[in-house]
Amino acid sequence: KAGVTQTPRYLIKTRGQQVTLSCSPISGHRSVSWYQQTPGQGLQFLFEYFSETQRNKGNFPGRFSGRQFSNSRSEMNVSTLELGDSALYLCASSTGQMNEKLFFGSGTQLSVL
């Protein structure tokens, strides 16, 4: 079966703009979680959606938001971009059950100029 698909692969934006990233989970998976990866901070949890509801949230400002659709696809939005938002954004899907393995996408590399 097809893996987790993230689009676009690369994005270049300027400060103050907003951006939307997309994630299509593995067929049958109802949980989608998002992570930010930077050289300095490593992998940090943003939020997780299960059946269109946000179940958990990390320590990121309100500029970072997300949503999940009825087909389990998820989008992540960052408004008023800052230079520090430059990062690789990873999406992961799973069945949503406790301690189930996460399947990661290839990520979207966001550069904020």
Maximum separation of any 2 CA atoms in the chain, in Å: 39
Q: Convert 81-107 to b/e letters by CB count within 10 Å (16 or more is b).
A: beeebbbebbbbbbebeeeeebebbeb
Rule CB under 8 A: choose which of 5, 22, 58, 65 binds other proteins.
58
Quick check: 2 binds other proteins (CB under 8 A)? no
User: In angstroms, rounded to a whole number, what is the distance separating the alpha carbons of residues 24 and 32?
Assistant: 9
Quick check: 3 binds other proteins (CB under 8 A)? yes
In the bound state with other proteins, the residue whose beta carbon lies nearer, of 16 and 61, is 61
Give the gyration radius of the chain's Cα atoms.
13
Quick check: 60 binds other proteins (CB under 8 A)? no
Site string for other proteins, 27-46 (x = CB under 8 A): ----x-x-x------xxxx-
- Say which amino acid occupies 55: R
Quick check: 67 binds other proteins (CB under 8 A)? no
Interface ranges with other proteins (CB under 8 A): 3-4, 31, 33, 35, 42-45, 48, 50, 55-56, 58, 90, 92, 94, 96, 98-106
